Amino acid sequence: MAIIINLDVMMAMRKKGLTELAGEIDITLANLSILKNNKAKAVRLSTLNEICRALECQPGDILQYVEDEEPAADSGDAPDT
């Protein structure tokens, strides 16, 4: 995926642990862990807003776009003819 979530970096810079941040933004530890480990497929803007508020940062401090090095995997659908 071309979007990288650098939540772990911002948490380390602000010296906030997973449990502390989860409590502050009212999100489950499991869901915050998914975000922190860059496994999320989506993030709600309201969640991003709360993370930025708690960490005193901008969305761009957390989200980063990088070019994919490999083309996307074939979805398995038959080619158009």
Domains of the chain: 3-65 (1.10.260.40)
- Determine the pLDDT at residue 79: 52
What are the residues facing 5 on neighbouring strands? Answer: 63
Bridge partners (DSSP) listed for residue 64: 4
Please report the pLDDT score of residue 36 as a whole number: 94
The answer to whether 30 and 20 are in contact (CB under 8 A) is no
**Contacts with 52 (C-beta within 8 Å, 6 or more apart), sequence order:** 58, 59, 61, 62
pLDDT bracket for residue 68 (50, 70, 90) = confident
How confident is residue 1, by pLDDT bands cut at 50, 70 and 90? low
Q: Give the tens place of pLDDT for each residue, 27-54.
A: 999 999 999 999 999 999 999 999 999 9
